[in-house]
């Protein structure tokens, strides 16, 4: 079912939470504490994305377990970024174990991750997929539910839709097409970070100078706050807000 995390705030190293925290993403790759809906390890790949000073997001992905990469701790330790996202993958049965199936996904200046599973894939989402331009559908990075969800979301973001509205639409559309799906999303453009909780665990913690959002707390600090189910956490320079995932925030529904 995967584990993921994202940070927004004053520059810091991704290595702190990916590798060095007591319950780091590395630990969550082989000993997760709150995997709901099946799975015990996240060994089908990993990804790390971050924002550099003078460019859009940079990204590294691999289809091997995170614990097999002896070079990444030093690489991540050399990076300091105001916004980053990382994920480890537990691939759903029948979906390919390939580099392109790993979050974070990128495009239009965004980083995106999906923690969960779409029920009844791929039949359940056939009508949704048919709404995509044929060229986008034929050039998907990988044949997985997460990649399709990113393509659907990206269409709305590129049309200028508010990110929270787009995420709310995506959650509602997939839940209607595939009831019981697990749909925890992370999305950032380097200025705003949004995380959604939909039948899966998600928490956040104010680190002082920045906020970390994660599938599981990375330590036992009492400052971790669970995000209520069917809600979103939105982090900006002005602070943190918890917002309900309403039926539809898109302009067409207003």
How far apart are the C-alpha atoms of 138 and 211, rounded to whole Å? 37
How far apart are the C-alpha atoms of 207 and 193, rounded to whole Å? 15
Contacts for 8 with CB less than 8 Å, ≥ 6 apart: 82, 83, 188, 190, 192, 193, 210, 211, 235, 236
Residue 218 annotated in active site: no
Q: How far from each other are the two terminal CA atoms of the chain, in whole angstroms?
A: 34
Contacts for 185 with CB less than 8 Å, ≥ 6 apart: 112, 113, 114, 115, 149, 153, 167, 170, 171, 194, 195, 196
How far apart are the C-alpha atoms of 102 and 48, rounded to whole Å? 9
Catalytic residue among 1, 2, 66, 245: 2
Question: How many residues belong to the chain?
Answer: 254
Per-residue b or e along 46-65, where b marks 16 or more CB atoms closer than 10 Å to that residue's CB: bbbbbbeeeebbebbbebeb
Contact 184, 196 (CB under 8 A): yes
How far apart are the C-alpha atoms of 116 and 254, rounded to whole Å? 29
- Residue positions annotated with a catalytic role: 2
């Amino acid at each position: 079912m995967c584990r993921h995390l994202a940070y927004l705030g004053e520059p810091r190293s991704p290595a702190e939470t990916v590798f060095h925290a007591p319950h780091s993403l590395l630990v969550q790759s082989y000993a997760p504490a709150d995997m709901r809906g099946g799975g015990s390890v996240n060994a089908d790949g990993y990804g790390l994305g971050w924002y550099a000073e003078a460019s859009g997001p940079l990204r590294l992905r691999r289809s091997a377990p995170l614990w097999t990469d002896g070079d990444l701790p030093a690489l991540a330790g050399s990076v300091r970024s105001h916004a980053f996202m990382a994920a480890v993958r537990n691939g759903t049965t029948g979906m390919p174990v390939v580099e392109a199936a790993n979050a974070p996904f990128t495009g239009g200046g965004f980083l995106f991750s999906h923690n969960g599973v779409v029920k009844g894939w791929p039949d359940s989402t056939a009508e949704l997929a048919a709404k995509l331009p044929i060229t986008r559908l034929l050039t998907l990075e990988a044949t997985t539910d997460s990649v399709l969800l990113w393509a659907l979301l990206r269409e709305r973001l590129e049309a200028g839709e508010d990110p929270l509205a787009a995420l709310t639409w995506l959650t509602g559309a997939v839940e209607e097409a595939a009831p019981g799906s697990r749909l925890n999303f992370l999305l950032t453009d380097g200025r705003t970070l949004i995380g959604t909780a939909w039948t899966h665990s998600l928490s956040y913690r104010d680190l002082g100078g920045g906020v970390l959002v994660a599938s599981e707390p990375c330590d036992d600090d009492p400052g971790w706050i669970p995000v209520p189910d069917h809600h979103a956490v939105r982090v900006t320079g002005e602070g943190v807000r918890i917002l309900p995932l309403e039926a539809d925030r898109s302009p067409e529904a207003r």
